[in-house]
Structure 1
């Protein structure tokens, strides 16, 4: 494995964040390196800074020294990250399963299209043209629809189990 492949893809060095100049610190002095393929869990109570930390990781907020080095990690965040955010938002705000699937599919499709056509990153391999092709766009949308439907069902079943176990405590 090359040194570049082993290097961290997300690095926080002495990162702190607050929403206003004199406001309360939401995230305070974080030092973390997240390697490619590494999984982390973010846990904490209400208002402890979990969402703010995720926004810092995704680049929606900036503070301190934050670096993302691997193109694959950017592609993952734009595609699957968009799917996760869309699922979380739509499940929380809609009780209609079809709306949840469609919203998540559109978010995933937009992320894949942006990475493939705007960033010119060969996300789907050499067989899919990086120039705009309506057939490829439609296949990507159908894939996004199927993938979103699968993740919607998995998410809803997991949430149902979590609610059931929370009531049993």
Structure 2
């Protein structure tokens, strides 16, 4: 899906974000590397379960007043649905992508890739696990970075506006939700 939707959309001037582009290119390369037999065990986790945490966000976008204001404001229930979906997304993202993802990298796929790298008979055999390691670590830190942005945005949404309005507004510099 990323190859046919996310990557081209990310290249559109209004939607361009260098971090997202790097993420999608890294994921496309990771998808190609997932054809290696020693990483196929992890494909359902990284290609399926991890992505399931985004389903509430996709649904919340239907109710987002920025994009679909008439639809979002048609009933009070839609506003509540938007809020509940966003809270569900936040909790799912933090649990799955900021706890489970790094733990799986640290205690599962990371050691597997290191083992393959150590056992490689030549440079060609070492290329795939080395590249996978070089991708999985930044992608892990990117999940944590986005989790931090989500927490900051949630804190801003829940906190009353302080007296220092400019500092408060800076919390939303990197809009995620």
TM-score (norm 1): 0.28
More helix by share: 2
More strand by share: 1
TM-score (norm 2): 0.27
